[in-house]
A and B are shown apart, each in its own frame.
Chain A
Amino acid sequence: AQKITQTQPGMFVQEKEAVTLDCTYDTSDPSYGLFWYKQPSSGEMIFLIYQGSYDQQNATEGRYSLNFQKARKSANLVISASQLGDSAMYFCATSEASGTYKYIFGTGTRLKVLA
């Protein structure tokens, strides 16, 4: 069965430093997508970055990059040059093409950026 695991319930990072948020997934389908979302205290889920299972290169969007290691089934989010506004919950998610619709979210990591 499709599964997403985020093992870090909380993380701290100093402002202007880089931080890596871990995400591992388990799927039997060769075609899948991996997503990261940010949820600030306001509650809205903000899409950050996407990686397709067949993409050869790691996805990047501004200060966000996705460290995709297919053999290890990991899709870690790297935030460079952390800012105070990066403090939020971060969710990893996956979509799978086989059978019925499946879009699964992890339990999230709470990131706190320190001044």
Chain B
Amino acid sequence: DGGITQSPKYLFRKEGQNVTLSCEQNLNHDAMYWYRQDPGQGLRLIYYSQIVNDFQKGDIAEGYSVSREKKESFPLTVTSAQKNPTAFYLCASSIDPLDTQYFGPGTRLTVL
């Protein structure tokens, strides 16, 4: 079955700690994305990658970092510099940046 997986589903972090959210896809898509969603809000783009070893900042990249060493994987690190990291994080992928995006199930991050 092709799809996108995100782990973990729920994540708790203490203030001051970095944490990495996993995103893996087996759809052979070139482009991958990370979004943040706050309660009752729409999606905001954190980072995107159009191809392996390349990524670009989205609208709210401060306090986050990514890597794209493999086509299948696009992990997101939420650093201690992110002032308000508690949110729902969604990963997506698409054949190219203008095509339909397909989403993973999301990771709900809570900072204690």
Contacts and interface: CB of A to CB of B under 8 A. Distances in A.
Interface of A: 33, 35, 37, 42-47, 50, 91, 95-97, 100-101, 103, 105-108
Nearest to A31: B98
A25 to B, nearest CB: 14
A47 B99 CA distance: 11
Given A101-B50, A101-B97, A103-B97, A47 B41 contact: no
B108 interface: yes
B56 interface: yes
Contact of A91 (B33, B42, B98): B42
Contacts of A47: 100-103
B45 A103 contact: yes
Interface secondary structure of B, over-half rule? strand
Contacts of B108: 43
Interface in B4-32: none
Interface residues of B, number: 22
Nearest to B4: A44
A97 B98 contact: yes
B56 A45 contact: no
A107 B42 contact: yes
B91 to A, nearest CB: 10
Interface in B31-58: 33, 41-43, 45, 48, 50, 56
A108 B43 CA distance: 9
Nearest to A4: B42
Interface in B80-103: 88, 90, 92, 97-103
